[in-house]
Amino acid sequence: MVKPHLVGVFVGRMPRQWVNIPNPAPITPPVQLPPPPTGLVWSSRAWANGIAGNQLTRGIKNAKFGYGDKFDDHIQYSHAGSGGPYNVDGKGSCQINGDRSRIYFIVKNFNSVMYITFTPNWKTSEDDLSLAVRSRHNENDPTTNRFGKYGFAIGPSQYEFAREDFHNTHTKFGGGNLPQKLVNGRTYQLKFECINVQGQVGLTAWINYGQGFVIAGRKLDSRPISSGMNRPLFDQMSYAWARNNGSGNVIIRDVGFQILP
C-alpha cells in the first residue's frame, strides 16, 4: 500500500521507462433542479424553518390524521401504516420511513397539479412513492361522501395510475416503464395533474431527471364515479398525501399545489 506522504517519491532501482498514469475523469455533479413554480396555493416551506424534528417533537397529537405539524396545520403525519417516523431536517426536507407511512396535506383540491421533489432510498424493486389527490378518504359515511383518491405511484423503473372509490376499493388504470430508471440517492421532481376533461378525468405525471420535465405517463378515467366528480364536496373539504411503500424510505421536499379551473 502506498503511503500518502510517499506519493510521487522515487524509491528503489530506477525503472527503464516511466509510465504516465492519467488523472481520473472528474465526477460530474448532479444537475441542480429548479425551485418549485410560483403561484402555488400552498407549499411545504414550514419544513425549512430551521427546526429539525419528527412527528413527536414537531407534532400536535390527535389531529385529524395523526400528528399535526405545529408550524403548519396543512401538514399532518399519519398514524396509518407503519406510522413513520417522519424526520424533518429543518432545511426543507422530510424523510418518510416505514411501509405505507404517509403525510397528508390539507389543501382543498379538485382540478389540480401536485408538485413534489423526492429522493428515493428503496431496498427492493417493489418499493415506491405514491401520491394521492382529490381525496375525501377519511370523511364520514356514506361511501359516496368519502371518495378515496386519484393516485400515481412511481417505483425504481415503473409507474401506475389508479382510482380509489372508497377505502380499499380500487380501480387500476395500468402504467408502464419510466423514461429512465431511478437511482437511489438521486433527487427528482414530479408533477401530477388531475383534471376533468369533457366528463372524464385526465391523469398525467411528469418527471424531471435534471434536464426539464418529460411525461412519465398518462391515463384517462373514461368512466368516473359520481362521488369523485362532485366538486362542491371537494371545495368544502379535500386533501392529498404522499406515501412511502415498502421497506425503504423516501425524502420529500418542495411539495406544493396549483389549483386549476
pLDDT digits over 3-25, tens only? Answer: 444 444 444 554 455 444 444 44
The answer to whether residues 178 and 189 touch, using CB atoms and an 8 Å cutoff, is no
CA pair distance 40, 156, nearest whole angstrom? 28
- Could you give the percent of the chain with pLDDT greater than 70? 88
Name the pLDDT band for 69 (thresholds 50, 70, 90). very high
In the block, cell 399519519 appears at 78
pLDDT band at 86 (very low <50, low <70, confident <90, very high): very high
Task: Considering only residues 77 and 20, tell me which one the structure prediction assigns the higher pLDDT.
Answer: 77
Distance between CA atoms of residues 82 and 99, nearest Å: 6
Count the residues in the chain: 261
- Cell numbers for 34, please give them: 429548479
131-152 pLDDT, tens digit per residue, is 999 999 999 999 999 999 999 9
pLDDT of residue 13: 56
Average pLDDT over residues 42-47: 97
Angle at 106 (CA atoms; ends 100, 234), nearest 5 degrees = 105
| Prediction pTM value | 0.86
Domain limits, the chain: 107-247+253-259
How far is Cα 214 from Cα 204, in angstroms, rounded to an integer?
Answer: 11
Report residue 48: phi and psi, to 5°.
-105, 25
- Alpha-carbon span 178 to 258, nearest angstrom: 24
How much is the pLDDT for 87?
97
Q: Exposure pattern of 134-166 as b/e (b: 16+ CB <10 Å)?
A: bbbbebeeeeeebbbbbbbbbbbebbbbbbbbb
**C-alpha angle 226-140-256 in degrees, rounded to nearest 5:** 75
DSSP3 helix / strand / coil % (the chain, rounded to 5): 5, 45, 50
Of the candidates 231, 243, 241, the one whose C-alpha atom is nearest the C-alpha of residue 111 is 231
201: cell is: 378525468
Whether residue 142 has a cis bond before it, omega within 30° of 0:
yes
Q: Taking Cα atoms as reference points, which of 177, 151, 148 lies closest to residue 162?
A: 151
**Closest by Cα among 122, 127, 137, 204 to 170:** 137
How high is the pLDDT of residue 9? 43
Inter-residue contact 116 to 252 (CB < 8 Å): yes
Distance between CA 134 and CA 194 in Å, rounded?
Answer: 8
User: Closest by alpha carbon to 163, among 183, 134, 191, 186?
Assistant: 134
Q: Give domain 107-247+253-259's CATH number out of 2.60.40.10, 1.20.1430.10, 2.60.120.200, 3.90.105.10.
A: 2.60.120.200
Q: Looking at residues 157-183, what average pLDDT do you find?
A: 97
Cβ 86 vs Cβ 233: under 8 Å: no
Q: Which cell numbers in the block locate residue 37?
A: 413554480
